[in-house]
Structure 1
């Protein structure tokens, strides 16, 4: 094994973490962006190496400082964490290819070094959450991610102070969620005397029927639900997505909430165990109705939005509902659908938000009234949005269709009334998605452009990354070997199949 491969789990975090202070000292509009892009690409390359190694030889355990677990801190890359690391670093690199001209227009030049420094910290934090095998380190990396996220959101919209309000709202709600998670971890430590995830899991059955453990489960699930923006804890997300810089919205839409879904999976299946989670405390009775309400109500709310970013933000909450239902099914088929949708939705929603970012770059607004006739003014950008919208709806040959197909199969596998009702609810939600995507299409193609409206496309530096994600959406909707294959491996691993 090469030197890079043997240290890959820690390199995925150390590379962006060490580069962040260097980036903060850089000035100008090009150097901070270039360094951040290179560092993100290196993290992506390391993530690919980790995924290939895990696929070939099984989970990787890396002991920091040579201290054996549980005394030392352990990093663990298994089929689920390796897959999520690939998603995070891949989305980050693709978004950064788009970032140079976009962010230079939204953030003052003297703040670009600090902006990209915070971006690298967010990347390092999310990668750390995914690979750490230490429950307290999850909280540490979660705070690194959150604090840098507040900064990134607050830097949005030079002339719009609502970005600051959105960041403050996110800070308050995010702090509550982090506090719940910390209390939950503390209770587990009190009962087990260890913070190593594998060690906690091995001791969990002996202490499962105690009040502190049940309290820990409640604190952890609620805390993660807040970070996840699970209905009804989603109130911070629409504003954060609406007023953050375009690349921040795209980056977080594709990664941040997906990392929280990963945390939910990790705690439910690795630490608590499926039998305790769904047999003893009946988490399905909590997660299932919340997921259904989310994808029905938030799809309905999205229809009435006048800002496209906000519309897509509510759509994201609805899509998280699908993932929640997949987890609540407590079956390998449901888990496969949920993990698959993490990947598919990340690509589709990133492409959509980058398309909207192109519109904002030229038209200066994401409000529907300012995008009238945008289809004739920016044909390539608008067509990309339409294709992304089809993928979000879930038409055949798109990843949205693949995810929903697997989720429908998982619900029908139940063979009862609830399974059929869930299927009907998902079909209704898809029809609602047709309506809110059509609202944008109608404004773009069927309303005349203002007489003084500028007709030009976004720069190629914005269009090319956008179309990479749009084309990628259709590629992974047709060629499903990678996304479905790794999702099935991760689901099998969580259910004890590896």
Structure 2
């Protein structure tokens, strides 16, 4: 079984999706999808444990040895991403039933769970594969499923958001495919480990420069790095609430993994960071993203859309860590990748409960919600405090390691900018506190009927996610040690 372990997290949802399509009743499809996602999570946990014990794990599909066949190659970096994506995928599904039944028409519900499993399989496949073209294939599987998920809601504006996402996603995928085609033309191989050995011999050619440029731009489109982020606010805002939770917790994290994998494994650090001015580019764009996303979030009248712009800002923090080009910087980026998934999972899951009970997430609709939905609002506030980086939360750990990495490089201005970005986050989180706890309660006629606490299943998952913000703010071993081991594995041999 251990020899098959690298394949299991991907294979389970990939085979589960067509099996789910055979189920006629939405409730049966939901139960089946939950079971598949939990099994994928169990396989990812076992995979991370095996990677710590045995080092890099490899699986040759169909018995064709790399580089001729497709290889699944698992190290600490993608084991961490596999754990994160499968955990959030399972958590979201377990709490999804009430929200899906409210926001998605009955005839679409079974197909919704099929698309969800396909999207989950695609994201897990991107993280697991060691083949560049196979990565592109899984990228398209996840993207096509995502477009369908965004468009499944009752709001017709979701169709426009899905179309815009499709256009931008297709452009990004095309850029990535062109870059992969260029490196294949140069080296005659698609295996990432093999590419890392062959590219240095042709690394100074214009084709290699063009290949890396195409891949970086395409991935940054998928990552929603400023100014390539225009698809994200519409997709997050108009998608069904559960889809927003899933995408916010997983999709941009997998895109960041792809950026790191190509920059530090395939092209290697001497080429991608030292030979090209990407340190400056990533750090500058990351800082601009932090301030641009946070400033828009401050003035947004809809909290869901404001948190979507907040995600643009948080992507900026992750890219700053990558741009520093050091072990500490990369470790900080990976820690924030992990912690941000928990933060945004908490925030958007709480908003799913708010939308379920109030019918929307504008500040006008949420006046006094802290008194009518106390547990949901407390979880929402806890996620917000973690997003700011308050000590004792997971967000503080992320900001601490990022500030430390910048200080190690004596980038004192960057340290100040990171702290200033956290203050901007505090502004729009305080706006939430004002609305939820200090604003007068709305009259019953002005809100949806019976603004009660969230349903039990959704509330249970929400509380677990909220408490995870505290747990990983106090016990940091899993993200910090795994991220540190992954960063050292990628960089320590070159940059002490």
TM-score using structure 1 length: 0.97
1:336 and 1:39 map into 2 onto residues whose CA distance is 31
1:344 aligns to 2:339 (yes or no): yes
Equivalence map 1:34-53=2 (5 Å): 34-53=31-50
1:413 aligns to 2:405 (yes or no): no
Q: Secondary structure at the match of 2:441?
A: coil
Q: Secondary structure at the match of 1:82?
A: helix
Equivalence map 1:334-413=2 (5 Å): 334-413=329-408
2:479 and 2:191 map into 1 onto residues whose CA distance is 29
1:496 and 1:444 map into 2 onto residues whose CA distance is 47
Q: Which one of the candidate residues 458, 461, 464 is aligned to 1:462? A: 458
Equivalence map 1:483-494=2 (5 Å): 483-494=479-490
Aligned residues of 1:376 and 1:455 also touching (Cα < 8 A): no
Encode CA deviations 1:302-358: one digit per residue, 9 max, x unaligned.
Answer: 101111111111111100000000000000000000000000000111011000111
TM-score using structure 2 length: 0.98
1:218 and 1:78 map into 2 onto residues whose CA distance is 25
1:181 and 1:126 map into 2 onto residues whose CA distance is 16
Gaps of 5+ in 1: none
- The equivalent residue for 1:85 is 82
Q: CA deviation at 1:25?
A: 2.3
Q: Secondary structure at the match of 1:93?
A: helix
- The equivalent residue for 1:269 is 264
Aligned residues of 1:28 and 1:110 also touching (Cα < 8 A): no
Encode CA deviations 1:463-482: one digit per residue, 9 max, x unaligned.
Answer: 11001000011000001111
1:140 aligns to 2:137 (yes or no): yes
- The equivalent residue for 1:248 is 243
Aligned residues of 2:358 and 2:451 also touching (Cα < 8 A): no
Q: Post-superposition, which runs of at least 4 consecutive aligned residues in structure 1 deviate over 2 A?
A: none
Aligned residues of 2:99 and 2:241 also touching (Cα < 8 A): yes
Q: Secondary structure at the match of 1:61?
A: strand
Q: Secondary structure at the match of 2:364?
A: helix
2:189 and 2:254 map into 1 onto residues whose CA distance is 24
Q: Secondary structure at the match of 1:62?
A: strand
Instruction: Give the number of aligned pairs.
Output: 490
Encode CA deviations 1:145-167: one digit per residue, 9 max, x unaligned.
Answer: 000000000012x1x21100000
Encode CA deviations 1:206-258: one digit per residue, 9 max, x unaligned.
Answer: 00011111100110000000000000000000110001111111111010000
RMSD of aligned Cα (Å): 1.0
Encode CA deviations 1:183-222: one digit per residue, 9 max, x unaligned.
Answer: 0000000000011111111001100011111100110000
Q: Secondary structure at the match of 1:203?
A: helix
1:48 and 1:387 map into 2 onto residues whose CA distance is 26
- The equivalent residue for 2:278 is 283
- The equivalent residue for 1:435 is 427
1:301 and 1:275 map into 2 onto residues whose CA distance is 36
2:23 and 2:239 map into 1 onto residues whose CA distance is 22
2:125 and 2:91 map into 1 onto residues whose CA distance is 20
Q: Secondary structure at the match of 2:391?
A: coil
- The equivalent residue for 2:184 is 189
Larger deviation: 81-90 or 378-387? Answer: 378-387
Q: CA deviation at 1:27?
A: 2.2
